[in-house]
């Protein structure tokens, strides 16, 4: 599997896992913001970086963004290989497991 193929594979989350992640995500603040420049390489790289650091992140789509929230969510989840957990308003919640994080820092999803 090439690096690009590996990046584009996202895990299918069960409804129980999504519910668990939504509960954790509720208190998170957005770490990536999509503004008037839309979705560029910079935004995708920032998303990948933050997912590698935190596994679960919020992305905020600004009012001036030329790209809609659904298109933003689809593009970022595909480009980063993450799973889309939810979209609420202009906020997107993404999850990607990182096995390189310390065990105590990783999220333990229910089965």
| Spans of all domains in the chain | 3-95
What does the chain look like in DSSP terms, one character per residue?
--HHHHHT--PPPPHHHHHHHHHHHTTPPPSEEE-TT-S-HHHHHHHHHHHHHHSEEEEEE-TT-SS-HHHHHHHHHHHHTPEEEEEETTEEEEE---TTS-TTTS-----
pTM: 0.88
- In CATH terms, the fold of domain 3-95 is Translation Initiation Factor IF3 (3.30.110)
* Segment 92-111 mean pLDDT: 91
What would the two tokens of residue 25 be? 């995500």
pLDDT reported for residue 1: 33
pLDDT reported for residue 9: 55
pLDDT reported for residue 8: 47
* Segment 29-33 mean pLDDT: 96
110/3: higher pLDDT: 110
pLDDT at 60 over 60: yes
């Amino acid at each position: 599997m090439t690096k690009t193929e590996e990046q584009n594979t996202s895990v299918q989350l069960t409804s129980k896992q999504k519910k668990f992640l939504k509960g954790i995500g509720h208190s998170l603040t957005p770490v990536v913001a999509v503004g008037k420049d839309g979705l560029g390489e910079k935004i995708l790289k920032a998303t990948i970086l933050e997912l590698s650091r935190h596994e679960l992140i919020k992305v905020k789509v600004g009012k001036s963004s030329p790209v809609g929230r659904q298109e933003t969510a689809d593009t970022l989840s595909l480009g980063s290989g993450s799973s889309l957990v939810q979209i609420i308003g202009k906020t997107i919640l993404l999850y990607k497991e990182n096995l390189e994080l310390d065990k105590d820092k990783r999220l333990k999803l229910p089965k």
